[in-house]
């Protein structure tokens, strides 16, 4: 009887942890952690060695503050999207429901408090920066449901915002960084459009006002193609800069993949098709994170030695 009780308790704890991991989207937080450190090493820092960057305590605090704020953002976004998710993502919704709404809200406030406290130990400017970040995450989650264009732009901006902290911290004014930011904003806008197309059923039922609902699926597809073209231009401009080294092949690949994807965008009609396209963009984003390692080997050698 005791053994059976222990097994049940162990299973309950595992399910609770799994639910919590799903609510804060731990898999995304891991990618953000990797992206922030790789970006610090290969993009934003100038003269610092790999050892100096890894052992930089202020950088660690910035990363932790960012992760806490993002985790809180996922929770509040999940809170406002719970009805829509029950329709579009029933399995994930069941897992998330294992963590009560009350606990989720407590975690939201706790994570935000942790974020600003950590930021304060970096500087008062960091405290203001992350307070503002948390505020605009709430604005996005709560106030922009009926403004689809602003919602889409805000969403893309929020994804790029953590890298702005690194930009300010390292004071690197290289023009390529601005192009990278524009490339990422366009990429996240495309991701957002596919996400809305994928979730259109739940958004209609829950009376959401997204781009596909307001302008129609066909027009949304034309908007996606326009962003395909725009992002391809940024990709070519970035790849022509010698500082990106072998990472240029990632941008070449992005242009080719988007060109191949255009016909699939127009023939897609079902949710599963949009899910494939949404995941396709996610893969491009993940490849982009790890392609930072493909920057010219001399940069890597200099960082290490």
Percent of the chain with pLDDT over 90: 27
**Residue 156 maps to a domain:** no
Residue 266 falls inside a structural domain: yes
pLDDT tens for 116-147 read 999 999 989 999 999 999 999 988 887 777 78
Q: Mean pLDDT for the chain?
A: 84
The pLDDT > 70 percentage for the chain reads 93
171-177: list long-range contacts, CB under 8 Å, 24+ apart.
172/43, 172/44, 172/45, 172/46, 174/243, 176/238, 176/241, 176/243, 176/244, 177/43, 177/44
For CA atoms 231, 26, 129, 158, the dihedral sign is positive
70 and 140 part of one domain: yes
155 in a domain, yes or no?
no
**CA triple 172-178-184, angle to 5 deg:** 120
* pTM listed for this prediction: 0.88
Contacts of 297 (CB under 8 A, 6+ apart): 245, 246
Whether 288 is covered by a domain: the verdict is yes
231 close to 254: Cβ distance less than 8 angstroms: yes
Domain end among 170, 201, 218: 170
Q: How confident is the model at residue 60 (pLDDT cuts 50, 70, 90)?
A: very high
| Confidence at residue 241, expressed as pLDDT on a 0 to 100 scale | 77
**Do 154 and 77 meet the contact criterion of CB atoms below 8 Å apart?**
no
In this structure, are 142 and 195 located in the same domain? no
Quote the pLDDT of residue 262. 87
Do residues 99 and 19 make contact, with C-beta atoms less than 8 angstroms apart? yes
Tell me: pLDDT of 3 over 80.
no
Q: Are 190 and 289 contained in the same domain?
A: yes
Task: Please report the pLDDT score of residue 134 as a whole number.
Answer: 93
pLDDT 10s digits, 70-101: 999 888 888 777 777 777 777 777 777 777 88
Query: Does residue 159 belong to any structural domain of this protein?
Result: no
Asked if residue 221 belongs to a domain, the reply is: yes
Domain residues for 127?
26-147+165-170
Q: How many domains does the chain have?
A: 2
Q: How far apart are CA 68 and CA 158, in angstroms?
A: 14
Q: Residue 32: pLDDT band by 50, 70, 90 thresholds?
A: very high
Segment 210-215 mean pLDDT? 86
Whether 115 is covered by a domain: the verdict is: yes
Residues 302, 189 within the same domain: yes
DSSP per-residue codes, 233-295: HHHHHHHTSGGGGGGHHHHHHHHHHHHHHHHHHHH--SHHHHHHHHHHHHHHHHHHHHHGGGS
Q: Residue 23: name the closest of 64, 77, 69, 65 by CA.
A: 77
How many angstroms separate the CA atoms of 96 and 118, rounded? Answer: 27
């Amino acid at each position: 009887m005791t053994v059976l009780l222990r097994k049940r308790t162990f299973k309950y704890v595992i399910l609770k942890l799994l639910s919590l991991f799903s609510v804060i989207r731990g898999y995304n937080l891991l990618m953000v952690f990797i992206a922030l450190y790789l970006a610090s090493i290969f993009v934003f820092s100038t003269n610092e060695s790999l050892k100096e960057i890894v052992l930089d305590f202020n950088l660690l605090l910035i990363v932790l503050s960012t992760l806490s704020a993002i985790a809180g953002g996922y929770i509040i976004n999940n809170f406002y999207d719970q009805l829509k998710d029950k329709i579009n993502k029933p399995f994930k919704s069941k897992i998330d429901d294992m963590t009560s709404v009350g606990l989720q809200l407590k975690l939201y406030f706790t994570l935000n408090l942790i974020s600003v406290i950590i930021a304060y130990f970096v500087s008062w400017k960091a405290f203001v920066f992350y307070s503002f970040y948390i505020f605009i995450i709430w604005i996005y989650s709560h106030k922009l449901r009926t403004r689809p264009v602003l919602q889409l732009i805000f969403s893309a901006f929020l994804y790029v915002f953590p890298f702005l902290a690194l930009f300010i911290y390292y004071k690197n004014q290289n023009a390529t960084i601005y192009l990278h930011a524009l490339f990422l904003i366009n990429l996240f806008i495309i991701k957002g459009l596919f996400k809305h197309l994928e979730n259109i059923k739940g958004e209609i039922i829950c009376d959401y006002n997204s781009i596909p609902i307001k302008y129609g699926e066909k027009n949304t597809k034309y908007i996606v193609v326009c962003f395909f073209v725009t992002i391809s231009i940024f990709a070519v401009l970035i790849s022509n800069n010698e500082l990106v080294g072998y990472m240029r092949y990632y941008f070449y690949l992005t242009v080719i993949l988007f060109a191949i994807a255009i016909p699939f965008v127009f023939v897609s009609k079902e949710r599963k098709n949009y899910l494939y396209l949404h995941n396709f963009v996610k893969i491009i984003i993940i490849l982009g994170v790890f392609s930072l390692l493909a920057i010219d080997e001399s940069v890597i050698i200099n960082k290490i030695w």
